[in-house]
């Protein structure tokens, strides 16, 4: 299938020269790069084991109050930050 891509000039030049150095057509290089990106994205989309516990404490009434208390402490501390110190 044919399609049109808009790439920044510097990226286009880098893709074209890298493909040439590898003895590939630019379309072959781009197709390979997209396949690699898709396969790495597929493996990255599987949740990490520790993520199954994310947010579970907020569902427990006793913990919800504690999380609200902690959130307020964090907010109060951020309110004390002087923005001039970060510039």
Give per-residue pLDDT as tens, 46-83.
666 766 666 666 667 777 788 888 889 999 888 888 77
Distance, in Å, from the CA atom of 28 to the CA atom of 11, rounded to the nearest integer, reads 16
Nearest to 33 by CA among 55, 11, 63: 11
Q: Tens digit of pLDDT for each residue in 20-53?
A: 999 999 999 999 999 998 887 666 666 667 666 6
* pLDDT at res. 60: 73
The tokens describing 6, both together, are 């808009």
- Is pTM beyond 0.75? Reply is no
Is-contact 64 58, C-beta < 8 A?
yes
Q: Tens digit of pLDDT for each residue in 8-18?
A: 999 999 999 99
């Amino acid at each position: 299938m044919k399609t049109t891509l808009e790439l920044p000039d510097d990226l286009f030049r880098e893709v074209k020269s890298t493909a040439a150095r590898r003895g590939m057509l630019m379309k072959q290089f781009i197709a390979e790069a997209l396949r690699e990106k898709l396969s790495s994205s597929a493996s990255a989309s599987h949740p990490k084991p520790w993520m199954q516990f994310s947010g579970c404490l907020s569902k427990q009434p006793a913990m919800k109050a504690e999380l609200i208390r902690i959130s307020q402490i964090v907010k109060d501390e951020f309110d004390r930050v002087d923005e001039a110190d970060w510039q």
